[in-house]
Every structure is written in C-alpha cells, then in structure tokens.
Amino acid sequence: MKTIHNLVLSFLAVSACIAMAHSQTPPSDDFKPSRLNQPGQEYPQVNSQGYVRFRIQAPQAQSVSATLGGRGGTPLTKGPDGVWTGMTARPEDEGFHYYHLSIDGGVFNDPGTLNFYGSTRWESGVEIPAHDEDFYSMKAVPHGQVQQILFPSKTNGMAVFKTAYVYTPPDYQKSGRKRYPVLYLQHGWGEDEHAWWNQGRANLIMDNLIADGKAKPFIVVMAYGQTNEAFRPGGGARPAAGQRPNFNDMIARTGFESTLTDDLIPYVDANFRTQADQKHRAMAGLSMGGMETHFIALKRLDLFSDIGLFSGGVVTPDDVNAAKGFKDKVKVVFCSCGSRENPTAINANHDALEKIGIKNTAYVSPNTAHEFLTWRRSLYQFAPLLFQ
Amino acid sequence: MKTIHNLVLSFLAVSACIAMAHSQTPPSDDFKPSRLNQPGQEYPQVNSQGYVRFRIQAPQAQSVSATLGGRGGTPLTKGPDGVWTGMTARPEDEGFHYYHLSIDGGVFNDPGTLNFYGSTRWESGVEIPAHDEDFYSMKAVPHGQVQQILFPSKTNGMAVFKTAYVYTPPDYQKSGRKRYPVLYLQHGWGEDEHAWWNQGRANLIMDNLIADGKAKPFIVVMAYGQTNEAFRPGGGARPAAGQRPNFNDMIARTGFESTLTDDLIPYVDANFRTQADQKHRAMAGLSMGGMETHFIALKRLDLFSDIGLFSGGVVTPDDVNAAKGFKDKVKVVFCSCGSRENPTAINANHDALEKIGIKNTAYVSPNTAHEFLTWRRSLYQFAPLLFQ
C-alpha cells in the first residue's frame, strides 16, 4: 500500500510540476498572422504554442474583449496609441476556433479576420496550425470543385430554391460518363451549408486522400440542416417550456428529412453523374448533423448504406435491433469524438456493437474537444472506409 | 426673350418645388429588413423610397455612425435602452451598397448584415429593391451552378493555387458533350473573385436571360484581378510619389495578364467543355475590371472576340486603329456607365466609333452611379449580344 500511496503522491507531484511548468513557460515570440485573416491584415496572430493575440483599433472605446481564451474570454487593454491589445491566457487547441469581440457591450467581429457561419451568426475565425495539418492543407495535387447548387424544394416552406454545395472530385469534369458514389455531409447546430468546405476544409481533405490513393473519388453534398431556423423561439422545433428536449422529435420538426429525401437527393441524382442507389450513398454529420444522420439514415436504410457520427452520438445495439435489415444493409458504422469529449462512451459502444456482430469504427481525435479539428480528422478517417 | 426668361424661371420654380417636396416628404413607414441581412436579423431596414435605418446594440459606446447616407454618413443616436439608431438623411439609389460602422473611432461591420468583399475588406452590405429587380431575382427557372475552382498558377508568386468561380449554365451538367463559349468577367478595385456572383448576382442574371431565351447559354469565369495586393504600398504597381497613375502600366505590373492567359484560360479549357477559340471567348469587367479588359483584351485579340467595359472607360477610335485586325476580329464592343457617371462621354464615343465603321453599343443605366445596379444592368444588356 505504501508503494501505491507513494506512486499516487509522485504522480500528483509530477502533474503539478507539469502544470506549473506549462503555466510558467513564457509564450514564445514566433507569432504570425492567422491564416484566416483578411488580405493584408496582421492581426490576430498565433504562435507555435497556440497562444492568440489580438489588436483592435477603437480609441474612444470603454471596453474591448475577445470571446476566445476560456470562460470570460480575453480582456484587451488600451495602449497610449488608442489601440487595444491582448493575448489569450492559455494556449488554444490546434485547429479552427470561432470567436467575436465585445465592444462597449455590443457584439462585433474582429475586422482582421474572415467570417464563418457558426452560433447562427457570421463569426470571426482563427486557425492554430496543427502538427498534422498536412492532411487538410492545400497541396500541389489535382483539386476538385465545390459547386453552389440552387435546388427546388417544395417542403418546409422556407424558400422556393435552397442552396447547397457539392464537391466533385478532381477527375469529375474530365471523366466522361463515369458515375460516382455520394456522401451527404451535415454541419452542426448554428452552422449552415458553408461550414464543411470552409471551417471543415472537406474539399482539400478529399483532394489529398484521393491523390494519395487512400479514398475512392466520390461526390460530397453539403446542405443546410434547417435546424437554426426551426430551433429559434417560435420556430416550431423547440420543446415546450419545462420539457426536456427530445432531439429526434426536434429534428423531425425541422422538415429537413423531406428536403433531403424528396428534393435534394433526386436533384443531385438528376444533375450529377451519381451511382444512384443505396449501396453508393452515405450520410454523416458533426454534432447536430450527427444526430440528423442518426435520425434520418437509420429510418431510411433503403437510401443509405454508410453512417458517420462525428461528436454526434453513437449507433447503439438497440438502434441495430430496431432498424429492420440493418446487418444486411449497413456497410460502414463510424462514431467519433475528441479526446476531451466522451471517448469512453465511444469506445464502450464500439465493443458493444462488435459483441452483437456489427463491425464498426470508433475514432478518438487526440487532444481536441467539440471543435473542427476533431471533425476534419473524423472525415479523414471516415472517407477511406466508404464505398469499398 | 421674355417667354424664354419666363420659361427658365418657371423651370427653376418647378425644380425648387420638386426638390422641396422631395426633401419634405416624410419617409414612408414601410420599412422591411434588407434582403442581405444575416438569418433572423431585423436591421438594417429599407423602405420603398430607399431610406435605410440602422439599429446597433453597444450601450457603453461613445459614438456610432454608418458610412452610408452621403458624405459624412449617418450618425446614430443612443436611446435610453442603450441601443443606437439612425436613418439615412436621403433615399439611396436602388440596388446594392457597401457600408461599415464607425464605433468609438474603430471600423467594424454591422452585425446585422452579410459581408461582401469591397474596398479591400469584407464590408457590410444593404440592398434597396430596384423597380426592375425582376431580371436579377431568384425565380422559378432552371438554375446553373457556381463552382469554386483552384487552378495552378506559376505566375506572380502569390500562391501555388489560385481561386476563381465558374458559372456553368443550367443545362451544362446534363448536356453530354455539348461545348460552350466563355465570358471572363472581372470585378472592380477593392473587390475579388466573389463580387460578381454575390454583389453582382451574375449567375441569376444569366439563369433568367437563358430561361427567357434572350442569351445563349455560356460559361462565365470570375477570377481575382490581383489589383488589390499589387496596389498596396510596396505592392509594385503604385506610381512613384508625385507621379500620375498610369493605369495600363499599373495593371501590367499586377501580373494578372499572364495569370489569365497562361494559367486560367488553359485550365478552364482543359477542365470545362468550352469552345476553346477566339470566336467563343469574351472579356468584360466593371470599373478597374473594365480597365483590365481594355488593357488585356485589346492586346490579345487572338484570344478574345467580344469586349465589355462597365464604368471602366471606352474603346476609342485610337484603340481601334492601334489594335491590329480589330475590325475583323472584334464582334462586340460594349461600353456602359450609370447616368450619374459620365454618360456624355459614353455616348460621344459611341458615335465616334460608328463614324469609323465600328458597330458598338453604349448603355447608360438610369438613375445609378458607380455602383452595382449599373453593373447588373450592364451585364443584362451585354450578355444577349454575345456569341450570336
């Protein structure tokens, strides 16, 4: 017992030292403009450890802060030149992060950065280069196209034409009559059809996988899941006051299922050279998009053969038993999350599925949370499994 | 003489009455959220006369104003609820307008609106519905796609891959081996490859023209003209201090000519089903993009047969005489501007060209200035003339 006691003490002591060392290491001076800055803008900047520093011109402002940098964000201080500056108190995770500024009690974007739709608004974005960024970088390989489509939609009453983006692989334009499988890939709550090819870099991930021969060329369709409008007060999908949210019920009430199955899939199959059958159609999504995938794909195994849930729950043994013909129809089951989310649940569910004879993949993204590096990596792991 | 004198007096009196009536007409109370607002955002709002009103939350701010509304912009006033509101002092022209907010001496975007790249930054945008907006509205007609392409570029050293957007007409995806002519369509100074299909609505204008049988289906390529980077201090294209700008020289130094002719055109011809010859290739642009067109297309009549300058100068008789083979090679010459720009010069040049036997079109957009409604209308007038 004494040995174990000492071991525990030693572990605690070492952990404390590491924590102190971490907090005491001064931020290194290798700051560079974030890659997501607007053309010519020097700030925000990021360094090799993941610290972010901001610089905002607003000489008469009373208070300026950025929402990045943990709870409470990062307060900025005004210099004698009237310029507000500040640095996150801790390094951020590698990858993409949303944030915005609070200026004198109002919400504004950092004029230095490009904007990305998240939290139901166009937000500022910053990119911490990841040690494994090669897989989502723009490299000297053949590149596919991302196409904006306007597809007619009779459902949901939100618009006569809805917007989606379609990735076609590099050889699509020149391959004559060749037909391709299709992955329907959904964004998370607060985002929209722009997320996967901007924040997610889905097109570059696919270009790189295809160039390396690691994934079959396939089409990726990125549509709006209609969750944001529906989840607003009065939007029809919110639970009544005092009731617990039932996500399946909420997703059902967005109307996205019929947009997808009655409008979008027929449009894509009519306008692109798809392999228009169940075996060559997959669905995946991140967070709320994972829940949509869980809800829609399991109901419609006549349409989808492969399922990916990225930080969006799991396909359980109960799901398998409830979905008629699951074992015959479903070829790929993939569930993932960041190591800072709930990897135990992902791994336990993996084993439970294997036990009832369902081959499946559980993937845990190292040192990431509920954020885009988790999902970029998930797509990178998921895509090679599809349509084999 | 007396009669003329009276007539002049009457005219002046009537004009004054109209001006007074105009300035005294209270803004009508039919304000609606601008169509370019972010999802769910109520402000900015526009009314049927073209007034714009703003609403900004920033309770501790000292001063808030919007740059829209003539010189000096529109100052906003803080209400007891800490919300800043204000309205333009005069109606704005119909169509699209850029603006931004000044908050306590800093430049920020209105959190209510979508952003559009102009003035070398992503700006707020507002849309005043035009009486003739039908031609650029999203209607129940077949829609083409707008594709993001990443094309390899060896020139200019700015990037290994450059981004452009390609509009393909509605029947492109399903027309098998059919080949299409191509229009290269350039944005203005401060803008980029996003301008024509967002601010300009080029894809919807083409969809509507094609649906009405008024234009032949053709491909439109919208690339970045590299002017913004090059025109920055130290960017290589600025005239030395004290020297007058020579736009041809400046455009030459951006390197865009070789990006266009050596990289982009070959990529488009290799990856899209184009009619890859001079007779089926046109170039046009707005403002600085018109100057690029003037500079590049007149030099390269081996590549381009049709030329459009929208608020971007004119093709003069001297140009015709200087460009070898002009009369044989050029099929369409189109010069336009807004009625509040310099219509006299456009019309005089039209006549001068006709005099030397060059059939050409001069178009003046009614009641518009150097702004996007001028250029949307110009494209609508220009496209039907092409490739006939």
pLDDT at B43 > cutoff 90: yes
DSSP H helical ranges for B29-116? none
Cα torsion through A346, A349, A355, A358, rounded to 10: -80
- Contact residues, chain A, for B197 at CB < 8 Å: 148
Residue B291 lies in a domain: yes
Rounded-to-integer distance, Cα A204 and Cα A144, Å: 8
Q: Is A121 on the interface with B (CB under 8 A)?
A: yes
* Nearest by CB: A114 against B122, B174, B229: B122
- B362-378 tens-digit pLDDT: 999 999 999 999 999 99
Same domain, B106 and B142: no
Surface of B (12-51) touching A: CB under 8 A: 38-40
Residue B271 identity:
N
Mark yes or no for CB contact A138/B148 under 8 Å: no
Is B367 part of a structural domain of the chain? yes
Interface residue B61 vs chain A (CB under 8 A): yes
**Domain identity same for A121 and A226:** no
Cα–Cα distance, B108 to A122 (Å, whole number): 13
Please tell me if residue A171 touches chain B, with a CB cutoff of 8 Å.
no
Report d(CA A335, CA B56) in Å as an integer: 43
- A40 CA: distance to closest CA in chain B (Å): 8
A368: alpha, beta or left? (left if phi > 0; alpha if psi -120 to 50): beta
Domain boundary (B90, B109, B129) is at: B129
Q: How far apart are the C-alpha atoms of B265 and B152, rounded to whole Å? A: 11
Instruction: Name the pairing type of β-strands B219-223 and B182-186.
Output: parallel
The number of helices, as runs of H, and strands, as runs of E, in chain B is 11, 20
Domain-embedded: residue A2: no
- Find the distance separating the first CA and the last CA of chain A, reported in whole Å: 53
Domains in chain A, number: 2
Burial of A385 (0-12, 13-18, 19+ CB in 10 A): middle
Q: Are residues B257 and B373 in the same domain?
A: yes
Classify residue A241 as left (phi > 0), alpha (psi -120 to 50) or beta: beta
* Residues A198 and A251 occupy one common structural domain: yes
Mutate one of A42, A43, A85, A108 to test the B interface: name it (highest B CB count within 10 A): A108
User: Which candidate from A103, A115, A166 shows the least CB-CB separation from B103?
Assistant: A103
Asked if residue B254 and residue B183 are part of one domain, the reply reads yes
> According to the model, what pLDDT value does residue A10 have?
45
CA distance A315 to chain B (A): 33
Q: How many CA atoms lie within 13 A of B387 on its CB side?
A: 22
Task: Write the residue in B103, B140, B161 that is nearest to A160 by C-beta.
Answer: B140
CATH of the domain at A121: 2.60.40.10
Buried b (16+ CB within 10 A) or exposed e, A46-83: bbeebbbbbbbbbeebeebbbbbbeeebbebebeeeeb
Q: Is B237's pLDDT higher than 60?
A: yes
Which site among A43, A121, A148 would you substitute to test the B interface, given the most B Cβ atoms closer than 10 Å to its Cβ? Answer: A148
Asked if the structure places residue A194 within a domain, the reply is yes
CB–CB of B40 and A105 under 8 A? no
Inter-chain contact A140–B148, Cβ cutoff 8 Å? no
Residue B233 has pLDDT above 90, yes or no: no
Query: DSSP string covering A153-182, please?
Result: --STTS-SEEEEEEEE-TTGGGSTT--B-E
List B residues 318-337 in contact with A (Cβ-Cβ < 8 A).
Answer: none
pLDDT value of residue A17? 40
In this structure, the strands spanning A281-286 and A306-310 are parallel
Structure tokens at A16: 């404390």
CB B284 within 8 A of CB B309: yes
CA distance A127 to A116: 12
Contact A86, A62 (CB under 8 A): no
Contact: B106, A160; criterion CB under 8 Å: no
| Pairing of the two strands A115-118 and A106-108 | unpaired
Binary contact (B104, A147; C-beta < 8 A): no
Q: Both B325 and B339 in a single domain?
A: yes
Return the structure tokens found at B44: 């900015």
Which residues are A283's β-sheet partners? Answer: A184, A307
Any domain includes B166: yes
What per-residue confidence (pLDDT) applies to B229? Answer: 82
Chain A touched by B152 (CB under 8 Å): yes
User: CB within 8 A of B78, min separation 6: which ones?
Assistant: B59, B61, B64, B84
Decide: B256 and B157 in contact? Cβ < 8 Å. Answer: no
Domain range holding A164? 135-231+247-385
CA distances for A259 relative to A22, A155, A267, angstroms: 49, 6, 11
User: Nearest CA to CA, how far is B275 from chain A (Å)?
Assistant: 15
pLDDT digits (tens, 9 = 90+) for B247-293: 888 898 889 999 999 999 999 999 999 999 999 999 999 999 999 99
CB nearest A40 (choices: B147, B232, B270): B232
| Residue in chain B lying closest to A171 (CA) | B271
The position carrying tokens 């901001």 is A54
Q: How far apart are CA A155 and CA B224, in angstroms?
A: 37
Are residues B205 and B169 in contact, defined by beta-carbon separation less than 8 angstroms? Answer: no
Please tell me the distance from the alpha carbon of residue A314 to that of residue B164, in angstroms, as a whole number: 39
pLDDT at position A92: 96
Angstroms from A185 CA to nearest CA on chain B = 18
Residue A171 sits in the same domain as residue A93: no
CA distance A10 to A1: 14
Could you tell me the pLDDT band of residue B20, with boundaries at 50, 70 and 90? Answer: very low
Q: Are B228 and B186 in contact (CB under 8 A)?
A: no
Closest CA to A76 of A47, A103, A99, A51: A103
B106, B150, B161 ranked by CB distance to A61: nearest? B106
Question: Are B74 and B84 in contact, with CB atoms under 8 Å apart?
Answer: no
Q: What does the alpha-carbon distance between residue A381 and residue A358 come to, in Å, rounded to a whole number?
A: 18
**Does A232 lie at the interface with B, CB-CB under 8 angstroms?**
yes
Across A235-367, the runs of DSSP E, i.e. the strands, are 281-286, 306-310, 332-338, 361-365
Domain boundary among B129, B153, B169: B129
Q: Do A173 and B271 touch (CB under 8 A)?
A: yes
Contact residues on chain B for A106, CB-CB shorter than 8 A: 56-59, 61, 103, 111
Residue of B nearest to A140 (CA): B160
- The answer to whether residue B242 is domain-embedded is no
- Residue A123 shares a structural domain with residue A254: no
Check if A119 contacts B (Cβ < 8 Å).
no
Q: Which residues of B touch A109 (CB under 8 A)?
A: 108-109, 111
- In a shared domain, residues A177 and A323: yes
Task: Name every chain A residue with its beta carbon within 8 A of the beta carbon of B166.
Answer: 145
Please state the rounded mean pLDDT for residues B29-52: 97
A120 CB near a chain B CB, below 8 Å? yes
Cα–Cα distance measured from residue A138 to residue A211, given in angstroms and rounded to the nearest whole number:
12
Q: What is the pLDDT tens value at each position of chain A, 388 positions in all?
A: 344 444 444 444 444 444 444 555 789 999 999 999 999 999 999 999 999 999 999 999 999 999 999 888 999 999 999 999 999 999 999 999 999 999 999 999 999 999 999 999 999 999 999 999 999 999 999 999 999 999 999 765 555 899 999 999 999 988 888 999 999 999 999 999 999 999 999 999 999 999 999 999 999 999 999 988 888 777 777 777 788 878 888 898 889 999 999 999 999 999 999 999 999 999 999 999 999 999 999 999 999 999 999 999 999 999 999 999 999 999 999 999 999 999 999 999 999 999 999 999 999 999 999 999 999 999 999 999 999 9
Distance from CA of B213 to the nearest CA of A (A): 20
B56 and B95, same domain (yes or no) = yes
Give the mean pLDDT of chain B: 92
Residue A216 lies in a domain: yes
Block residue for tokens 């390609």? B166
- Residue matched to tokens 């899939």: A265
Reduced to 3 states, what is the DSSP secondary structure of residue A109? coil
Q: How many CB pairs under 8 A join A and B?
A: 138
Looking at A85, A113, A129, the residue that finishes a domain is: A129
Tell me whether residues B104 and A103 touch, CB distance under 8 A: yes
CATH number of the domain enclosing A255: 3.40.50.1820
Instruction: Confirm if A68 and A52 have CB atoms less than 8 A apart.
Output: yes
Q: Which of B108, B197, B270 sits opposite A111 (nearest CB)?
A: B108
Token output for B197: 């299909």
Omega prior to B239 cis, within 30 of 0: no
Same domain, A184 and A332: yes
Strand bridging mode A332-338 / A306-310: parallel
Nearest Cα to Cα of residue B27 among B106, B116, B89, B102? B89
* Count of residues in chain B: 388
pLDDT digits (tens, 9 = 90+) for B61-80: 999 999 999 888 999 999 99
Q: Does A229 touch chain B (CB under 8 A)?
A: yes
Q: Is residue A319 in some structural domain?
A: yes
Please say whether the beta carbons of A346 and A370 come within 8 A.
Answer: no
Q: Is 80 exceeded by the pLDDT of residue B159? A: no
Candidates B40, B59, B115; nearest CB to A232: B40
CB-based burial of residue B132 (10 Å sphere; 0-12 exposed, 13-18 middle, 19+ buried)? middle
Separation of alpha carbons A100 and A120, rounded Å: 13
| B 258-277 residues with CB < 8 A to A | 270-272
CB-CB neighbors (< 8 A) of B111 in chain A: 106-109, 121
d(CA A265, CA A259): 9
Regarding whether A268 and A166 lie in a shared domain, the answer is yes
